[in-house]
Structure 1
Amino acid sequence: MSTIRVLYIDDEENNLTAFKAGFRRQYEIYTATSAADGQKILENVDIQVIIADQKMPKITGVDFFKSISKTHPDPVRILLTGYTDIEALADAINHGDIYRYITKPWNDLELHNSIKNAYDAYVAKIELRDKIAELEKTNDELNRFIYSISHELRAPLVSAMGIVNVVKMEGLFDSCGEYWGLIETCANKLDYYIQKTLQYYKNHKTTSDISSVDFNKLIQELIDLYSYTDKDTHFHVEIRQNTEFYGDAFRIEVILGNLISNAIKYQKEDETNKKVVISVDVQREAVEIVISDNGMGILNEHLEKIFTQFFKAKTNQGTGLGLFIVKEALNKINGKIAVSSGLSEGTTFKITIPNGR
């Protein structure tokens, strides 16, 4: 371990001499008879522990520590006091201006242990700051990676999907057996993964932005957006919104979009009357939303697991991300969700979101 650099400020020369004599072999010691001289040393030496006497002619030890809290925040501060000044000590401790105080005359063992503990606190502070800097760097790299996913990766994917659509328009989709269909399926699946990844990332990064939410408009936009995948699914919508609702529009859209998309996606192929029922009841305290379908349903043993990241039932062809994102988004806005389902009978989700008005 490197030698601990200690600065001791005291207007009494005898105390400085005694400190040097007692600890010169254990620490690299710097001394000053005034706060101004101590300030000069701090500007030229990387001090790790500062000891200051409380009662000095021009400035108290507590006030000196406060004065250097912004310019020299790293050194850990110990106060020596020969009299009881509880109010000043309590204020200094509460504001983080001092690490510990020791009464004079000091006990060598107590002061030695205090310096060692203060140095450990100093090292921990520096390591924490380095870890934070490392995390910030990693976060910046993650931001660039997400940007790459949303732009550089998705752009060629959209082009490939566009080519498939051109093939369909020209009547050549079935000309090569099932190959074009396989390409379309893979492209759609990859696009779905990219979109869910972006949703998950934005849900964690985006701060809540409270604004007015019009559920009539929002629900219709989401139905129009997702119903293109299955035109045979019929929607029955009942919205009661006689009062203003304020909430996180981004996360509410993510929640409802995933649930409506799932309600369409997991319909039974042989069902002749595919339907999704959406009920929205806006009250002054909260909105209650119920989304039901008559689709494939979920096994009872799976109901507690469906909100787990990457959980997929054997009959489920999804990614295991959609409902996990729903639960994460609800947690961000203090919402609640309940689910009931029966195999081949359909699924009902009930969501409650507080009104932020």
Structure 2
Amino acid sequence: MTSFTGAQSRGTFLVVDDEPDILDAIARLFRKEYTVLTAQSVEEALKLIAAHDVQVVMTDQRMPKMSGIEFLAELREEHPEIVRVLFTGYSNISDVIDAINEGHVYRYISKPWKPVELRLFVAQAFEYYRAQRERRELLSQLREANEQLEEQNALLSAANEELKLLDRVKNVFMEVVSHELNTPIAIVFGYTFLLRKELGDDLSSVASKALSGIDSSAVRLKNISNRIFKMLGDDGSGEALDLEWVDVRKFVDSLQDQLEPFLQKRHQRLETIVAPEAQSILADEDKLNDMCLNLLMNAIKFSYDEQVITLDIGLSDDPEVLALTVRDSGVGISDDDIAQIFDVFFSTFNTGHHSSGQFEFNKRGIGLGLAVAKRFAEMHGGYIKVDSEEGRGSLFTVYLPVRPEQQTLRGSVQTRQLAQHAPH
């Protein structure tokens, strides 16, 4: 806040009167408080205003050529920020009020004045100038902020419309691609079935192997298609879950059966541990199955032949939270990659390791498996934590609430419980 009194910051005060004695008296009265400029005519006053930063102008009403009110009215047009004060000897108060309204005068002072009153009036005029200046600055800042806000709102509105368009395009894309992919895949399966049925025992080993390769490739393509649509189609909300009580032991046995062909191909073994207290979980079994398969298939692909992969399911420190752990002693994950492994379509930048196969050692897929696993864990109200050291293997732990519907029923309590186990 700027003060217009004192030696460090002096306000500039212009007095206009055609009587030199009055000018001298006022200059002496205020010389210690303000920079006082004096003028005996309107012309001289205008020159001083043009040359100095004047905050307050006080003029006599009776001036040659132009009255004080006329001068102040003209001054208001050119310098509306200057505070205008009129001193007059008018005895008719209505004439004074009319004059003040015409010139938009801040205050008027009647002649003769008392020095104490004049000091007070001038001090109030400078205070009024300061307040008006701050008001103008605040209004300017407010206008600028409003303009910026309007620009941001316009950008957000445009971005929102673009997102809506992209969402519609995505939905159309999913419908078209789903049809265009699944239809020929079904036809491929149909033809291989007909060939096997038609040829029967006459099917040579070479032809049988070729048909198996066709079936395997079709299955691989269908799995890739399904993972893409699961990632693009599920929004992660609880409404997308088909919850049912899942028997953990039977669920683990089913995983073992699904993985057995790949484990045998690599001469690996899956060791499963189910804690007695981890009997069941309320979950979407299909999504839970996909999540676990993605984690376990990664463990198979990135573990060496004849190694053991461990699936351990039990309760965490919180009895309402299930901990599902997949451990391997394979190649591990580099520090550069570990921060991105859950990103959609991230599969490292080494194209030499890329493969759409299901079990080739150290081969990357299209980068959806872990992203899908993370999405499905979060849809259940949980999360995935990973610890890995390159060259020594990886440990993926999924924390899931045993009863995910209680996450909304108990609100912040459930959230706080899960947060206690969250990775930092």
* TM-score range relative to shorter protein: 0.5 to 0.7
Could you tell me the TM-score, scaled by structure 1's length?
0.53
Aligned to 2:384, which of 328, 336, 343? 336
Matched, 1:316 2:374: no
Aligned to 2:232: 201
1:260 aligns with 2:296: yes
Change (3 A) 1:310 1:137: same
Match of 2:274 among 239, 249, 268: 239
8 Å CA contact 2:263, 2:270 repeated in 1: no
**Length, aligned pairs only:** 250
Deviations 1:279-310 (A, max 9, x none): 2113513212233468xx22564895482512
Q: Which residue of 2 aligns with 1:326?
A: 373
What is the deviation of 1:241? 5.2
Shift of 1:207: 0.6
Overall identity of the aligned pairs, in %: 16
Residue of structure 1 equivalent to 2:188: 160
Unpaired runs of 5+ residues, structure 1, are 1-20, 23-102
Question: Residue by residue, what CA displacement relative to the aligned partner does 1:144-175 show, whole Å, maximum 9, x if unpaired?
Answer: 21233333312211321343344456363644
CA distance in 1, matches of 2:296, 2:257: 11
The residue aligned with 2:341 is 307
Matched, 1:122 2:159: no
| AA at the equivalent of 1:351 | V
- Taking structure 2 as the reference length, the TM-score comes to 0.46
Secondary structure of the residue that 1:316 maps to in structure 2? coil
Q: Superposition pairs for residues 138-177 of structure 1, below 5 Å? A: 138-168=166-196, 170=200, 172=203, 174-175=205-206
Match of 2:373, as an amino acid?
A: V
Q: Which has the larger radius of gyration?
A: 2
Q: Which amino acid aligns with 2:372?
A: I
2:314 maps to: 281
- Which residues of structure 2 form unaligned runs of 5+? 1-75, 78-130, 354-360, 407-424
Distance 2:303 2:382 in 1: 30
1:189 corresponds to which of 210, 214, 220: 220
Q: Is the 8 A contact 2:347 2:364 kept in 1?
A: no
RMSD value, Cα: 4.4
Q: Is the 8 A contact 2:303 2:362 kept in 1?
A: no
The alpha-carbon distance between structure 1 residues 212 and 187, as it changes in their structure 2 partners (threshold 3 A), is closer
Secondary structure of the residue aligned to 2:238 is coil
For 1:222-233, list aligned pairs within 5 A: 222-227=255-260
When residues 250 and 302 of structure 1 are mapped into structure 2, their CA distance, relative to the original with a 3 A threshold, is farther
Match of 1:291, SS state, is strand
Q: Distance in 2 between matches of 1:289 and 1:189?
A: 26
Work out the CA distance in 1 between the residues paired with 2:136 and 2:309.
78
Q: Contact conserved, 2:272 with 2:311, CA < 8 A, in 1?
A: yes
User: More helix by proportion, 1 or 2?
Assistant: 2
Deviation for aligned residue 1:192:
2.9
Evaluate the alpha carbon distance shift between residue 263 and residue 114 of structure 1 in structure 2; reply closer, same or farther with a 3 A threshold.
Answer: closer
Equivalent-residue separation in structure 1 for 2:390 and 2:347 (angstroms): 21
Amino acid at match of 2:314: D
Tell me the distance in 2 between the aligned counterparts of 1:292 and 1:166: 42
SS of 1:310's equivalent? coil
